[in-house]
Structure 1
Amino acid sequence: MDERVRRHAEILVEFSAEVERGDMVQIHAPKEAEDLVVALYEQLGEVGARPTTHWRLGPASRAYSLAMDAEDYVTKEHALAEMEETDVVFLIIGGGNPYETTDVPPSKSQAAGRANKPILEERLDKRWVITTHPTAAGAQEAEMSTAAYETLVYDAMDKDWQAQYEHQAQMVEILDDAEEVRIVSGEETDLTMSVAGMRGANDYGKQNMPAGEAFTSPVPDSVEGTVRFDKPLLRQGNEIVDAYLEFEGGEVVDFEAAKNEDVLEGILDTDEGARRLGELGIGMNRDIDRFTYNMLFDEKMGDTVHLAVGAAIEECVPGGMEFNDSAVHVDMIVDMSEDSYIEVDGDVVQRDGAFRFEE
């Protein structure tokens, strides 16, 4: 086994999830990530934890979705009961055909998301980590050789996370004290939002691996303006290209996409909260320097901002503040490397990807 796989598992168990003796652990993974699952079992055995594995099979999910009626989707009570008894969840992505569910109607994906919401909410109360296992399929999506893609993945994860935390803490402090944030990029993105009273958060490897962002949740009804997401998004096996959203009073009032606009519409129609922003994230991991079609990586990339329609992030919303509730949380990316800036309370804190504290 590649020693980098063992190191990956060690980081996940010891640093990210801080697994303890007796912890009940769920691992959700594609078959292509078998080596990482084996390495995780080795690490978990040394700790004395108790793991179970759920293999994620794209063709099986597709077959089930196509056979189901949308109105028959209900919460899987046995899955909810298992999650209630779980301490730690590892979610591994990578491998397989990312377009496997392209022909699943958006109405069924929406119904599945609503039915799964109680399980998702329960999982978010656990120690959970989402990560990537590099595969030939992932390399193909990134238009890289398999060896080069593996190097990108492992370099982005095996790093000095304390130093990364301190670097990002500078942006988190700015967000913590902020009243209003403005995002400007090119001719079509000019978006303002209030973050007054919200908390900034530092993603340094405890829930995402790789990590590398500062983020917060906007005040739901405060978002105004337009945004063009110039990086594509893979959702439900479909590539959404050049998505454009217009906000008034915090809600999406107009939208378009150059490709798969119906999928974007399906996301926005999931529920009332899906037409509001739940997250503003600022990518700060400089070891991720290219787009790969893997949102876990791409949203952390330096010189980017991502905005998520749907559910807000609990740690960012103090008690007494309005929480945007939704069954979805869908991130979309704006390239901030050229003709762009982030303004906080009238002061530019990033221009063309460079932060003022980096100057």
Structure 2
Amino acid sequence: MTFEEKLQQFAELAVKVGANVQKGQTLLINTTTDTVEFTRMVVKKAYEAGAARVTVNFSDGEIDRALFDHADVEEFEKYPRWIAEQRDELIERQGALLWIDAADPDLLTGVSVSKLSAQQKAAGKALANYRDAVMNDKIAWSIIAVPSASWAKKVFPDLPETEQVPALWDAIFKTVRIGEGSAVENWSQHLVALHTRADLLNDKRYAKLHYTAPGTDLTVELPAKHIWQTGSSRTPQNTEFVANMPTEEVFTLPSKYGVEGFVSNTKPLVFQGNIIDDFKLTFEKGVIVKAEAGVGHDLLQEMISADEGSKYIGEIALVPHESPISASNILYYNTLFDENASNHIAVGAAYPTCFEGGSELTEEEMDMNGINTSITHEDFMIGSGDMDIDGILPDGTVEPLFRKGSWAF
């Protein structure tokens, strides 16, 4: 398969499986100027699939950085109203949203934490309706990534400059199952396998999970009505979409107040264009009571202080250590990829769809049922080949769930 053929398959995959654009539907694409050629392919594929209109928002890394370098902190407290209104209209029209990521992991390194924090809080408030739509699968949405020169250099610093972007393209194609046969058919089979694993966990009805590994001893209580899900979801119109491509996880929500112990990261977290690494979180009755980081300590404190819900966990996800992304031994410095190489958890908002009837609950009812709400949802990686996980049944029976980073059944 030629490089051009792989690109065409990737564009088709993003349209037909990721966002799953329907005839007569509008599609909004958010991306960067690094992706222009590929984005043009995606737009054409979307129109071929019957899209009524495709709108593309391009951003540029240097322009974004200039804003943070020169604007006053007060400017970041004013989130642009048109961005929220554009997404609100997309939701109203039952459109689809596609992110094509190519961001530099170090884009905002050195920017004051106060500016990053102000923007996070302002965006969280302004995009509340959009966040609700995404967290409750009210619209089809998907995130994919393509290489930029700056990102490829971060991932492959030891390669000659001319080989860095091609190497990242090759790695990405493998993670999204492009290279042999039909990528769309490959994904159909992959999603069946993930659904089978989620069904097994839903049949188990574990009351708690207990994680142990170097730097980690964490017990997570699960609500009685929890639901294990995969990266495949459905809109109210019954349109299936895949939010993250690649995806290797099955995930659910914890009981907000039922997390005890401590956990350490095993891969860097890229947050707000900065890296947070070598960190450890300690929990008591669900809340983070201590947070330490060797890299990005101040930013970690801001991340878990964005609002009250940022101090709690909203998601736990299981990914075997031998997943294709983990087996590649590549550190992507991009959560879209790195989270699919490792068991991970997310501080902040839970997906209400991981709770029976959760999408119909008010915020107060969600709290009563142990479902966390927040403007934050940040995944970080905790898995390794040394991690064991036990599943604890309601009667106290303990079963091996993971051993040495792999499924025990």
Regarding TM over 0.5, the answer is yes
Secondary structure at 2:346's aligned position in 1?
Answer: strand
Match of 1:113 in 2: 120
Q: Give 5+ residue unaligned stretches, structure 2.
A: 178-182, 233-240, 359-364, 393-397
Alpha-carbon distance in 2 for matches of 1:189, 1:219: 19
- Give the deviation of 1:12 after TM superposition: 1.2
Alpha-carbon distance in 2 for matches of 1:146, 1:72: 33
Greater Cα offset, 73-82 or 309-318 = 73-82
Of the three residues 190, 196, 221, the one matched with 2:217 is 190
Secondary structure at 1:102's aligned position in 2?
Answer: coil
Counterpart amino acid of residue 93 in structure 1: D
Counterpart amino acid of residue 334 in structure 1: I
Of the three residues 183, 188, 193, the one matched with 1:162 is 188
- Give the deviation of 1:62 after TM superposition: 2.7
Matches of residues 248-327 of structure 1 in structure 2 within 5 Å? 248-284=284-320, 286-288=323-325, 289=327, 290=329, 291-301=331-341, 304-318=342-356, 319=358, 321-327=369-375
- Give the deviation of 1:69 after TM superposition: 2.6
Structure 1's 72 and 168: CA in aligned 2 closer, same or farther, altered over 3 A?
closer
Q: Is the 8 A contact 1:175 1:216 kept in 2?
A: no
Structure 1's 122 and 82: CA in aligned 2 closer, same or farther, altered over 3 A?
farther
Counterpart amino acid of residue 315 in structure 1: T
Alpha-carbon distance in 1 for matches of 2:21, 2:371: 30
Match of 1:220 in 2: 256
Greater Cα offset, 115-124 or 129-138 = 115-124
Alpha-carbon distance in 1 for matches of 2:31, 2:332: 20
Match of 1:48 in 2: 50
Matches of residues 44-123 of structure 1 in structure 2 within 5 Å? 44-49=46-51, 50-66=53-69, 67-70=71-74, 73-86=77-90, 87-95=95-103, 97-117=104-124, 118-119=126-127, 120-121=130-131
Alpha-carbon distance in 2 for matches of 1:36, 1:261: 37
Deviations 1:13-71 (A, max 9, x none): 11222212221211111111112211111111212321111112223223333413347
Alpha-carbon distance in 2 for matches of 1:122, 1:350: 33
Alpha-carbon distance in 2 for matches of 1:167, 1:79: 37
Q: Is the 8 A contact 2:73 2:118 kept in 1?
A: no
Say if 2:168 is the partner of 1:130.
Answer: no
Alpha-carbon distance in 2 for matches of 1:109, 1:135: 23
Match of 1:180 in 2: 208
Give % identity: 27
Counterpart amino acid of residue 82 in structure 1: Q
Match of 1:14 in 2: 16
Say if 2:212 is the partner of 1:199.
Answer: no
Alpha-carbon distance in 1 for matches of 2:48, 2:189: 28
Deviations 1:157-198 (A, max 9, x none): 135223322332344235432210111112x20101111221
Q: Give 5+ residue unaligned stretches, structure 1.
A: none
Alpha-carbon distance in 2 for matches of 1:287, 1:148: 16
Alpha-carbon distance in 1 for matches of 2:74, 2:281: 27
Secondary structure at 2:242's aligned position in 1?
Answer: coil
Greater Cα offset, 345-354 or 117-126 = 117-126
Greater Cα offset, 119-128 or 28-37 = 119-128
Alpha-carbon distance in 1 for matches of 2:110, 2:65: 8
Alpha-carbon distance in 1 for matches of 2:266, 2:74: 32
Counterpart amino acid of residue 292 in structure 1: Y
Counterpart amino acid of residue 274 in structure 1: S
Alpha-carbon distance in 2 for matches of 1:324, 1:75: 24
Secondary structure at 2:281's aligned position in 1?
Answer: strand
Counterpart amino acid of residue 98 in structure 2: F
Structure 1's 165 and 256: CA in aligned 2 closer, same or farther, altered over 3 A?
same
Alpha-carbon distance in 1 for matches of 2:190, 2:48: 28
Q: Is the 8 A contact 2:73 2:114 kept in 1?
A: no
Structure 1's 122 and 252: CA in aligned 2 closer, same or farther, altered over 3 A?
closer
- Give the deviation of 1:212 after TM superposition: 1.4
- Give the deviation of 1:72 after TM superposition: 5.8
Of the three residues 12, 22, 25, the one matched with 1:23 is 25
Structure 1's 123 and 110: CA in aligned 2 closer, same or farther, altered over 3 A?
farther
Deviations 1:249-305 (A, max 9, x none): 10000111111101101101111111100110122582212222111011111xx21
Alpha-carbon distance in 2 for matches of 1:72, 1:163: 44
Greater Cα offset, 306-315 or 161-170 = 161-170
TM-score normalized with structure 2 length = 0.81
Q: Is the 8 A contact 1:33 1:133 kept in 2?
A: yes
Say if 2:390 is the partner of 1:354.
Answer: no
Match of 1:36 in 2: 38
Greater Cα offset, 265-274 or 20-29 = 20-29
TM-score normalized with structure 1 length = 0.91
Aligned residues: 352
